Amino acid sequence: MIRLPFDLDTWSPGGTSRPVRLAKPYSGDNYGHHFPLIDGAEVAVIHTDGDPDRPVIIGAMHDSLHPDLVNNLNHTRNLIRTAAQNEMRMEDREGHEHIHLTTPFQTSELNLGHMVDGDRKERGQGAELRTDEHVAVRGAKGVLVSAEAQPGATGQQLDMEPGIALFEQALQQMQALADAAEAAQAVAADYTQQKALLEDTLKDLKKAGILVSAPAGVGIVSGGHLQLSAEQNLIATAGGNADVGVMKRLTVAAGDLLSFLAQKSGIKIFAAKGKVEIQAQGDEMALAALKDITISSTDGRLVLTAAKEVWIGAGGSYIRINAERIENGTPGDILEKCAYWGKQGPQTQSLAANGWEGTPFNEHFRVQLPNGEAAKNRAYILTRADGGEIHGVTDAEGLIGLQQGVSVEGLRIRFPDSSNGGIAS
C-alpha cells in the first residue's frame, strides 16, 4: 500500500492506495527475487501507460532521515542488510577483499578473505565459520579436511595426494615392524587392515570416510573427555616416538592377546611405588634370555614356590624340590660351607610361613555354626594346601590363629566330633 499526495476519483479521497505491484529484477513461477518493503519506506512510483489508477513501485529511496548504507567512507563495499540485521557484505577494496555473511541469531557468520571487526580493524585472513550454537558438517560420500596448500585454487576437489603419501609411508613402516615381530616370534600387527582402509575407503573417498591431513601437525585437545573408538580396528603409527602420559591410571585390556616387541633397545617397566604383579592365571609363564637373568630383592626375601615341583639346574647339576623330597644331583662335586648345619623334624612351607615377617597373604578366619553363632572355644584341625596341619582351639569370637602365606592357596578346617571322637568338616 502506498500513500499518494493526491486523490484519485476511483479511490477513497485522502486514503491510502489499494495493493500496488512491486517491480523486481527477477521473477517467475515459484522463483524470483524478493526483499519486502517496510512500513514508512519512501518509494518511486510509475504508472502503467500513464494511467494514474495503475501505479507500479519501481524502487525504494533513501533520504536524509534514512541515509544509504554505503557512503564516501565505505564506498568500496557492496552491501545487503535487512531490517533484522541479516547481512551480506562484499568488500572490493584491493588487498582487503572479503565476503561477510551474518545473522544476529547466535551471532552466526561466514567470513571469507580479509576479515575485519566492527571498527574495520583486521582480525584475520582466510575463512571462518562461527556461531554461538551448533555446527554440523556432513558429506554422505565422504569428507576431506586438509591443511595442504592448493595455490590459486587449482587442482581437483578431492586432491589428497600429500595425505595419501603419508598414509602409504605409515603402511610401509607398519609392514617393516610386522616382519620384525614375526622374526622375533612375537605377534605381528595386521597391517593388511590398514592397507584395506587406505585403498578401499580413503583414496578418492571411495566410501563414506573422513580423511584429515596436515603437513606440519594435528592437535586434538579436550577440557573434558576424549574418546577414540572403532567398531573394527584402531590403528596408530609413528615414524618417530609415541609418548603417552597419564597423571592417574593407565589401563590396557585385550579380549584376545597382548604382544610387545622392542626391536633394538629393550623394554623397561618400573613402579616407583607399589607392587609389580605379573600373572599367567590360566596357563604357563616362560622367561627366557640370551644372556644372564638377574632376580634380586634389595630389602626383602626372594620366594620361589610351586604347587607341585621346583627345579633349579645348571650344567647338568640340579636341585629338585617337591612334597616328597628334596633331591640334589650333579656330575661333579658338592661343596658346602657353613658355620652350623643342623637337622630337625619335618616341616612344610606353609607352616614355616606362619613365623615369617612381611608375608603378602595373611588372613584371620572366623568359624560360625549352622545357626550363625560363632563357634567359640572349639578344637579344630586346619590343613594347608601343601598338607601341613595345625591343631588349635577357636577363641571366644570363633577366630582361629592368623594364617600367613606367600601365595594364594586353599585350606580346609575340620572339627573333632566330641560325641563320637570323629572328625567333622
pLDDT tens for the chain, 425 residues long, are: 677 666 666 666 655 667 889 999 999 999 998 888 988 889 999 999 988 888 899 999 998 888 888 888 889 999 999 989 999 999 999 999 999 999 999 999 999 999 999 888 999 999 999 999 999 999 999 999 999 998 888 889 999 999 999 999 999 998 999 999 989 889 888 888 989 999 999 999 999 999 999 999 999 999 999 999 999 999 999 989 999 999 999 999 999 999 999 999 999 999 999 999 999 999 999 999 999 999 999 888 888 888 889 999 998 999 999 988 899 999 999 998 999 988 877 888 888 888 888 888 888 888 888 888 888 999 999 998 888 888 999 999 999 988 988 888 888 888 886 444 444 44
Helix %, strand %, coil % of the chain (to 5):
10, 25, 65
pLDDT at residue 422 in the model:
41
Q: How far apart, in whole angstroms, are the C-alpha atoms of residue 118 and residue 93? A: 17
Q: Are 114 and 99 in contact (CB under 8 A)?
A: no
Q: How far apart, in whole angstroms, are the C-alpha atoms of residue 107 and residue 417? A: 87
pLDDT at residue 323 in the model:
84
H helices of 301-363, where? 349-353
Q: Are 387 and 415 in contact (CB under 8 A)?
A: no
pLDDT at residue 73 in the model:
85
Per-residue burial over 58-70, b = 16 or more CB atoms within 10 Å of its CB, e = otherwise: eeeeeeeeeeeee
Q: Long-range pairs for 164-173 at CB < 8 Å and ≥24 separation? A: 164/198, 164/202, 164/203, 166/213, 167/198, 167/202, 168/198, 169/239, 170/194, 170/237, 170/239, 171/195, 171/198, 171/237, 173/237, 173/239
Per-residue burial over 397-413, b = 16 or more CB atoms within 10 Å of its CB, e = otherwise: ebebeebbbbeeeeeeb
- DSSP assigned state of 201: I
Query: Which single residue is written with the C-alpha cell 577366630?
Result: 399
Kindly report the backbone phi and psi dihedral angles of residue 101, in degrees, each rounded to the nearest multiple of 5, phi listed first.
-120, 120
Q: Are 384 and 414 in contact (CB under 8 A)?
A: no
Q: What is the pTM of this model?
A: 0.70
